[in-house]
Amino acid sequence: MKILYVTSELSPLASTGGLGDVAGSLPAALRREGLDVRVVMPLYKIIKQTYASKLQFLRWSIIRLGWRTMYSGLFTMEVDGVPVYLIDNDFYFGHDSLYIDYSFDIERFSFFQRAVLEALGEPMGFEPDILHLNDWQTGMIPVLLESHYKKCGFHLHVSSMITLHNLKHQGIHSKEVVLDLLDLPAEYMTETGVLMNGVPNFLKAGITYSSRVTTVSPNYSREIMTDYFGEGLNQLLLSQSWKISGILNGIDTELYDPASDPEIASTYTSKAWIKGKSLCKKSLQEELGLPKQAKTPLFAMVTRLDSQKGLDLLLHILDELLAEDIQLVVLGTGDPSYEKRLQDAQGRHPERMRAVLAYDRHLARRIYAGADVFLMPSIFEPCGLSQMIAMRYGTLPLVRQTGGLADTVEPYNKYEKTGTGFGFLNINAHELLFTCKEAAHVYREDRESWDNMVKTAMEGDYSWSRSAGEYEALYREILEETR
């Protein structure tokens, strides 16, 4: 079975968050199951700079994008045993960041999608059976495949499926712009085609024209069919629910392994973690310049600073929370207003809080290992990976029970004294605060429950082998339908 995984991010080459992590670990896991999975992505500036000696040039061609004629280079390199193809064009991808602005991104990923289809088959030396697409940046591929290729007799046996990592971003622009970029025949510019409420919508197109749609957790696949989580696409999703399923993400359990992580002050296992973890905590407190108090619960958040992640809830109760005997570290970058408010909070609570405004994968691992409680008060969360990483490091997640957070964290049950974390249900800042207080209370007063929970959390299976089989089954279903 030949699968081409099409993505705008791939960790460790170029990534801004969860999509990059998934792209960096799922294809390798599927290859271990014996599938020929390869990846295609843009050749961003950062990749060119970092991996110059590894990149192998395959060919170049000219792509037509409306009135533009653009150079498109095709390179390849191997990442973790996975062949990766990279689409080169400096005008579109030679920038410091992966995403730039709304309008230009539409053009950049229109180019990317056309270039991917041009590269299939002979140029790549690979004709996939299935294109596995991800998010809006790839949503027009099944439409273009049909309108520009299959209708002319090319790539007749290639099918598509799309994974929705986040419904909030859909890739929407005016008819004029999209027509100009993609030369779509008029028959596709309808409400049953690529239009959603009168305007082209890349994600909607991807959902409509793909053979299957997956989301990154079972719970999110149900949530998106409701008004609240559907971001305007819920009716469409409901009407196509027969082809939608939720497959839980996994994490890279080799990279995130407290038993062997070279990044952390002391390694530890689920059988013997108390000493190692307390050394990691002490060294983290030292690194952050926080008082080295072993008994003070250390709360942490590693996140994109985006409203999705529940930062408004946290900021609303931050002063009340830090009036308790707890410490807090937040690591992340994003919305400048959150950056400022977090920095201000650190100024008010220098003995208790650190805001590290950076995207730092190394410090992230020292935080996963050194913290006691990991906060994820998300407003919505298609899957979430950090809670799984935290559990693997024995740091108990405190989550709002939504999306994949509800699928992966078993909230503390005070009667049974069980769980793998703490949970609250409503989008309510004081519910978050009370749950934090409860976690701090269990941490201090009920060590037996705490230690059991840490052990259970650490022993959970968060690997891709849990769900790789579900992807494989889905690929087979698609193949059987088209053969």
Binder among 108, 114, 165, 277 for ligand GLC (CB under 6 A): 165
Q: What length does the chain have?
A: 483
Between residues 395 and 467, which has the closer beta carbon with respect to ligand GLC? 467
Q: Cβ closer to ligand GLC: 120 or 409? A: 409
42 vs 404 by CB, closer to ligand GLC: 404
What does the per-residue mask of binding to ligand GLC show for 213-252, with x meaning CB under 6 A? ---x--------------------------------x---
Q: How far is the CB of 363 from ligand GLC (least distance, A)?
A: 20
Assess 138 for contact with ligand GLC (CB under 6 A): no
Q: How many residues bind ligand GLC (CB under 6 A)?
A: 14
Q: Which of 384, 394, 411, 419 binds ligand GLC (CB under 6 A)?
A: 384
Is residue 346 at the binding interface for ligand GLC, with CB under 6 A as the rule? no
Among 6, 22, 247, 248, binds ligand GLC (CB under 6 A): 22
Single out the segment in contact with ligand GLC by CB under 6 A; choices: 14-22, 77-85, 175-183, 416-424. Answer: 14-22
CB of 378 to ligand GLC, least distance (A): 8
* Cα distance between residue 186 and residue 193, in whole Å: 10
Among 377, 382, 411, 419, binds ligand GLC (CB under 6 A): 382
**Site for ligand GLC (CB under 6 A): which residue of 6, 11, 17, 128?**
17
**223-231, 251-259, 263-271, 380-388 -> range binding ligand GLC (CB under 6 A):** 380-388
Phi, psi (5° rounding) for residue 35?
-90, 145
Residues 255-314 that bind ligand GLC (CB under 6 A): none
Shortest distance in whole angstroms from residue 18 CB to ligand GLC: 2
Q: For residue 381, state whether it binds ligand GLC (rule: CB under 6 A).
A: yes
Examine residue 389 and tell whether it contacts ligand GLC (CB under 6 A): no
Span 403-422, contacts to ligand GLC by CB under 6 A: 404
Contact flag: residue 385 with ligand GLC (CB under 6 A): yes
Q: Which of 7, 166, 208, 435 lies at the binding interface for ligand GLC (CB under 6 A)?
A: 166
Q: How far is the CB of 22 from ligand GLC (least distance, A)?
A: 5
**Which residues are near ligand GLC by CB under 6 A?**
17-19, 22, 165-166, 216, 249, 381-385, 404
